[in-house]
A = this chain, B = another copy of it.
Amino acid sequence: MTVHLVDHNLSDSAVARAARVSTVGQTHKTALDGPREDSDRDAGLIGYLMRERHGSPFEHGSLTLYVEAPIFVFREWQRHRIASYNEESARYRELRPDFYLPPVDRPLVQVGKPGAYTFESGTDEQLATVDTELVAAYRAAYQAYERMLAAGIAREIARAALPVGIYSSMYVTMNPRGLMNFLSLRTHREGAAFVSHPQREIEMCAEKAEAIFADLMPVTHAAFQANGRVAP
């Protein structure tokens, strides 16, 4: 799975700037050209905003990512509505035969009941079953797809045969607040204030997105983590 940074205008100082309009108001315009607030004050303010759930200052900016992942991951991701998406279209183009296989360290066995599953590693035999069955199903599906296309059938019909394990690609744009909400629900990390149960595959994408976020907004990311990974 791939998560690349495409474009952004994020910064910790933009959060502090937006928040200060509350208390500084019309004189703020002057401050735009004046000396920068020192970053220690910014960090204190950002921590306060996060703890007190003042979410709006975390919305002034956007992050665009290019993502390649299986359709079943995109199905979960695109349920997040405070975000913008453009995805490769299987109506407009022929999809390529790229399919998802679980990495060898992916736990394969689900234990427990809905809403409280835990996972355990599979046996070697189970891992072999997954590989064999997925590869065979993927191959059969793609061959059927190609034969339909060769027979002149429209792509949008032929694609019905394709599995949700096939890779797609998209651009996704979020603001920092929306991204933190996404991370709070799609990762399962130490220090989180509540337990989330993301599927491992979207979590792998979310972790890549989080690394990019932490690099671009280190103070905001640290405050998010310190606040139990709850979006403000």
Contacts and interface: CB of A to CB of B under 8 A. Distances in A.
B6 A9 contact: no
B86 A169 contact: no
A164 B93 CA distance: 16
A160 B137 CA distance: 9
A194 B70 CA distance: 33
A114 B2 CA distance: 26
A99 B122 CA distance: 30
Nearest to A197: B52
Nearest to A11: B7
A37 interface: no
Contact of A22 (B17, B51, B87): B87
Contacts of A168: 25-26
A89 interface: yes
Interface in A146-161: 147-148, 151-161
Contacts of A134: 144, 148, 160-161
Interface of chain A: mostly helix, strand, loop or mixed: mixed
A137 B129 contact: no
A134 B144 CA distance: 7
A99 to B, nearest CB: 8
A21 B86 contact: yes
Interface in A82-139: 84-93, 95-96, 98-100, 102, 106-110, 114-115, 117, 119, 122, 125-126, 129-130, 133-134, 136-138
Given A56-B84, A60-B64, A70-B160, 10 more contacts: A9-B9, A14-B64, A23-B93, A23-B114, A53-B196, A60-B84, A71-B75, A72-B90, A72-B160, A130-B158
Interface of A: 2, 4, 6-9, 14, 17-19, 21-26, 28-29, 32, 48, 51-53, 56-57, 59-62, 64, 66, 68, 70-72, 74-75, 78-79, 81, 84-93, 95-96, 98-100, 102, 106-110, 114-115, 117, 119, 122, 125-126, 129-130, 133-134, 136-138, 140-141, 144-145, 147-148, 151-165, 167-171, 173, 175, 185, 194-197, 199
